[in-house]
Copies of this chain bind each other. A is one copy, B any other.
């Protein structure tokens, strides 16, 4: 496996959509520029925040092609290949490789009831089929399976994975994973949290994949840089401001689903900030209602992101 060592702020790039639900090229280029100009260290294309499982092969290809073209190699770009089962993930992975991504981000299977051992087989088949570095993605709220400490170490030792994106919300277990891997310098661990990034960096995480980084990449970069220089007071202050911004994800429910409230919150904020032309998500996600939009506008104003 060619080397890939992610670090720093690697946002899961939002996928802006046109009114007819295709990838909005103008907006996506603007988002990529916004992220790179604000100093992010990598791009995670087609993550959960990118509505990946809502997109078909063409839409996924469009999103990858446009993002890579706009990024032009400024930072490494990894790509989610989420689908329920192994060979369908491999189809996605082959397309992503052909389009030039630097690595894959892979979850366990979902919909079928799977197991830790089967997950290792799943990763090994993907690894065998497509010659790209793989970051394991632990997101049990979507997949129903938590990648165990033993599974992660076994996959590392079999050279199946080069890193972990932990979106499990279980910071205590992630801390122990970081200890398990402390003498494996070629393995990178990133937290998917938006609200405990200073924690993870204090604990030795190499980086962060914050959905909210689409809205405020500069904030997350400042947080990361403060942590890098050991200025934990500054890191915490930045994190606390970002927690205030993060409240934008709670303005849709109960009108919408948790998914539409979260990603919809990001898109609504980016639309208000002039970053994307439309704030709607893929079908059937419903728009955040007007009261929620106003609350998001207020949060952005109070936290200095909207003037």
Which A residues fall within an 8 A CB radius of B? 21, 48, 53-54, 56, 82-88, 91, 109-115, 117-118, 121-122, 125, 141-144, 169-172, 175-176, 179, 193-196, 198-199, 202-204, 230, 232-233, 236, 239-240, 243-244, 246, 254, 256-260, 282-286
Contact = CB atoms under 8 A, between A and B. Distances in A.
Copies in the complex: 4
A-B residue pairs, 8 tightest by C-beta: A199-B199, A112-B259, A53-B84, A113-B258, A115-B257, A121-B284, A171-B171, A118-B257
Contacts of A82: 111
A54 B199 contact: no
A110 B85 CA distance: 13
Contact of A118 (B233, B239, B284): B284
Contact of A54 (B85, B169, B170): B85
Nearest to A145: B257
A233 B227 CA distance: 11
A53 B243 contact: no
B113 A110 contact: no
A243 B176 contact: yes
A118 B285 contact: yes
A87 B254 CA distance: 23
A176 B239 CA distance: 11
22 contacts: A48-B111, A53-B84, A53-B111, A56-B91, A85-B284, A86-B282, A87-B282, A111-B143, A112-B257, A113-B257, A114-B258, A118-B284, A118-B286, A122-B284, A144-B144, A171-B172, A175-B195, A179-B244, A196-B203, A203-B236, A203-B239, A232-B232
